[in-house]
Structure 1
């Protein structure tokens, strides 16, 4: 059963005081996902703006008794007329997640610098050569049993010391350090010191990464395309710099160590991308309409035969407005 969600985001500037911490301020970012109908985007955006309005350039403690990240996130979710999933970040490297099912998570984004190569790729594959990355890592834990400090001060530092400025292939368990292998390795290493661990994400680049929750492997690949769409009934056009995020789910090949090569994902998307990029989207053959939901549905129809592992598509027309089509119904939050 396919499900669709609207994506809506905003930011606000606010001050607060937390226990054992003096008065301080943040640039908060919040993103909602709701199963509201496509025509309700403006309603969802208005509810979100109304929810954050009391905080903008104000002291959060004047509105909320609990001014923590979770306290703010709970308040915003409660102001929405429909159940939502919510991602609230109070800094570039940390935040909280609330699912539609009410589950709450705390996360920490970090990174390390390291070299590696993939020993099983075909001759001539660029990843077979010794190279390196500034690897991004997101660690997500159950907020009812863990705090940010449990991740930041206890679970992550020993692993950082083992990984940073190292040749990953020399580390036991990382002899074939694909993104998926690294996510699983990190998950099992972290779980020893973080009983509330929910999942781990690894990003080799800003546009590609993998996720492992102890059971399921998921990967994503992002691309931008520049396109025109009808603006009004008079035939005028506007345009957007779209971000599309293709998310795959499947088993890891025991030899290659991946669900699918990120390069293969990009190559399979190319014929679809060529029809999207620098074109009027209402002229796509077989498209129902040129709204974001219809475009995402069209992409799914074109791409699913080429990428059977496809599990979800996120399509953003602006950083704060988009849609999500989920074909499995169990995709955890990806890097956003």
Structure 2
């Protein structure tokens, strides 16, 4: 059964004092995801903006008893006065995720530099050549059992020492170091140290990555497209620079080590992309309307026969608003 959600995001600046750290300031980013009700997209954005308004350029300790990331996220979720999931980023590399089911997560984004090649790709495939990445890693844990320092000071440093500035293919278990294999390798390496480890993500580039939660493999590929949309009933148009994230879930091929080659995802999306990019969206064949939800539904209809592994589509009209369509009930993805 498909499910749809509105996405909204905003930022605010504030100072706070935390034990062991003292006075300091942040540029906080807040993202909310709520069930898509017709006409409720603007209400979600307004609710989020109203929730952060009293905190903007304030000293948080004067307003809240708990100014930790979790305390702040709980306050904002309650202030929105509607069921939603919430993502609070207090710095570029850390934050918290509150699920509608009541589960609370904290995460750390980190990275390492390494070389690798994929030994089983067809002849001529670029990933078969020795190359390297600045790999991004997101480690997500149940906040009830862990602190950020458990990740930052205990769990991650030994793995960083094993991976950074290394040739990954020489490491046992990483002989075929696709991002899916690496996510699973990291998950199992971290699971004994971090109680309540939820999932691990590995990002080879800013537009592609993978996730493993102990059971499910998921990958994503992002692209931008530029399109026109009707502005009013008089025939005037506006436009957006859209961000679309295609999320896939499936089993890992035992030989190739991936759910699907990122290049194949991009290639299968190309005929759909050509219809979206630098075109008016209301002229797409069979589209219901030119709003974000309708465009995402149209993309799903076009892509489903080409990418049966497709599990979710996130479509952002702007960095502040968008929609998310899920086609599987167990998608745990963090949202934009």
TM-score by length of 1: 0.99
| Deviation of the 1:36 alpha carbon | 3.3
| Deviation of the 1:62 alpha carbon | 1.4
Name the CA distance, whole Å, in 1 between partners of 2:314 and 2:49: 22
Aligned to 2:135: 135
Aligned length: 336
Aligned to 2:316: 316
Aligned to 1:305: 305
TM-score by length of 2: 0.99
Deviation sequence 1:281-332 (CA, Å, 0-9, x none): 0000000000000000000000000000000000000011000000002111
Name the CA distance, whole Å, in 1 between partners of 2:297 and 2:16: 42
Aligned to 2:160: 160
Residue 263 (1) aligns with residue 263 (2) = yes
Contact preservation (8 Å) 1:187, 1:200: yes
Contact preservation (8 Å) 2:31, 2:335: no
Alpha-carbon RMSD:
0.8
Unmatched runs of 5 consecutive residues or more in structure 2: none
Correspondence list, 1:285-300, <5 A: 285-300=285-300
Contact preservation (8 Å) 1:183, 1:201: yes
Name the CA distance, whole Å, in 2 between partners of 1:45 and 1:152: 33
| Deviation of the 1:61 alpha carbon | 1.2
Aligned to 1:57: 57
- Is the partner of 2:256 in helix, strand or coil? coil
| Deviation of the 1:335 alpha carbon | 6.8
Name the CA distance, whole Å, in 1 between partners of 2:38 and 2:165: 46
Contact preservation (8 Å) 1:201, 1:335: no
Aligned to 1:234: 234
Deviation sequence 1:117-166 (CA, Å, 0-9, x none): 00000000000000000000000000000000000000000000000000
Contact preservation (8 Å) 1:38, 1:293: no
Q: 1:139 to 1:150 in 2, by over 3 A?
A: same
| Deviation of the 1:13 alpha carbon | 0.2
Aligned to 1:121: 121
| Deviation of the 1:81 alpha carbon | 3.1
Q: 1:114 to 1:335 in 2, by over 3 A?
A: farther
Unmatched runs of 5 consecutive residues or more in structure 1: none
| Deviation of the 1:20 alpha carbon | 2.3
Aligned to 2:18: 18
| Deviation of the 1:38 alpha carbon | 4.2
Contact preservation (8 Å) 1:228, 1:240: yes
Contact preservation (8 Å) 2:243, 2:315: yes
- Is the partner of 1:66 in helix, strand or coil? coil
Residue 204 (1) aligns with residue 204 (2) = yes
Contact preservation (8 Å) 1:84, 1:99: yes
